[in-house]
Amino acid sequence: MTARQQKNFIEAAAAAWGSVPPWVTALAERVTADGLAAAGRRCGYSAATLSYVLANKYRGDIGRVEQAVRGAFLNERVMCPVVGEIGRDRCLKEQKRDDVGVSAARTRLYHKCRGIGVPRCPHSLLGREAT
């Protein structure tokens, strides 16, 4: 696809959202530049999910997508109590992992993200999202 044929997701997001939040603008800019698949790999969501978000039709946890986009494309950082400062997108990816026992650090992350035997990390979204 040539640059002329490439879809402008910035204009599409503006039409769908009206008043576009800054994180959606950042997502639209990245998708316009790199494509849906590449942007999705970077923030941990499928191309289809990002397409729905940009069209303002996503019915999932939009707050979680927002946090991933803020970490991946706006360089938002959080202070992880186990590993130190990390991107918000990495924080969300760590929360989803189940490979406890692979290493001592991975086990500490698993327990801290879930509040198992220790206070839950303040950045954890586990158990807070609507199902």
User: Which domain does 85 fall in, by range?
Assistant: 78-131
Q: What is the pLDDT of residues 70-82, one digit of tens each?
A: 999 999 999 999 9
Is residue 104 domain-resident? yes
What is the average per-residue pLDDT within 12-30? 95
Q: Which of the two residues, 35 and 5, has the higher pLDDT score?
A: 35
Shared-domain flag, residues 20 and 41? yes
Q: What is the pLDDT of residues 86-122, one digit of tens each?
A: 999 999 889 988 887 788 988 999 999 999 999 999 9
Question: CA neighbours within 13 Å on the CB side: how many for 78?
Answer: 19
Return the structure tokens found at 66.
């927002």
Is residue 3 domain-resident? no
Q: Which of 89, 80, 81, 77 is nearest to 30 (CA)?
A: 89
Name the pTM for this structure: 0.79
Q: Which helix (H) or strand (E) holds 126?
A: none
Domain termination site, one of 73, 95, 110: 73
Q: Is 125 exposed, middle or buried (0-12, 13-18, 19+ CB in 10 A)?
A: middle
pLDDT score recorded for residue 128:
58
